[in-house]
Structure 1
């Protein structure tokens, strides 16, 4: 029986794509290309740049199909495009700031470091918001309210061991995300920029 890919749900398409069904990937590509490109164009005002970003995101989906754990395809693709846009906009902001500081080379390093710190903080804030609920709450209680493990356990009605588990999970995700961010945007790690407290 011939599969009607256009009638399949996103989850069914993801299942088939993980099993190397190119037709399933093609359907995902066709299903989401236009709306993702619209998001890209809204932020970049460049059709070619938006299309390039969306193409990279969708090809990344295919290349990493067996490694990704996707709960919601629209949410995953939307976040991936926005993250790619964030990187593009960040690079452009940095270039503009550096051009503006060229007349004052002694300030260049300080300006770049401040920008790096701002971009990284914004990126990590986004990652925290997408953590599983308990890991997100544990992390926020620890970092924003400076609660101890025992205090968090009491507040969330969890055991201290459970709190430690969720904290470890959150820190592992953040460290991995931070490493990826550094490798993509910066020639050297930002571990020296005051972000050790975050991980």
Structure 2
């Protein structure tokens, strides 16, 4: 069944034209957590990221009458968070980045089998470690598409790169993850873990083709 995304543009229009506080709160609840994670990729501090997200939303409310031209509020807010995070880094001379754990990102459906649950958690940890080895830009591209379901064009606008560069960085990320996870599989001797690792590798391989047809437009 196709997932219907919230109509952020309608909410944004109500904010700009009707000063609709309920629509403003709705957008915050829909995007706030994801914007916070995105800022943490840059500033490595949850507290600083919270301040940045709050500042951007305050500015959006204060300047709502001038923002009616915005056609894609999601892309607009992600780009604003990126710019503000980079501004913070330049101001404080911080150039290091960290990854954070996504508590809601599940590779496999949990069941009541403790052994399988342990294997699932181990796979998740290894995938997180593999993602952490990606170059910065490839890592951001992978996370924006994988975790936020964005299209190439949207990611390109946020990161200020071309859609072709987004595609290239994504394919490089997937290729490296396949190599890293394949290496894990070769060094493990548990047959059940082999099966799960192989399934994960196949999923990542299929992602190449899925994203080509579903994300580039």
- Fold conserved (TM > 0.5)? no
Asked which structure has the greater CA Rg, the reply is 1
Q: TM-score range by the shorter chain?
A: 0.3 to 0.5
TM-score when normalising by structure 2: 0.39
TM-score when normalising by structure 1: 0.43
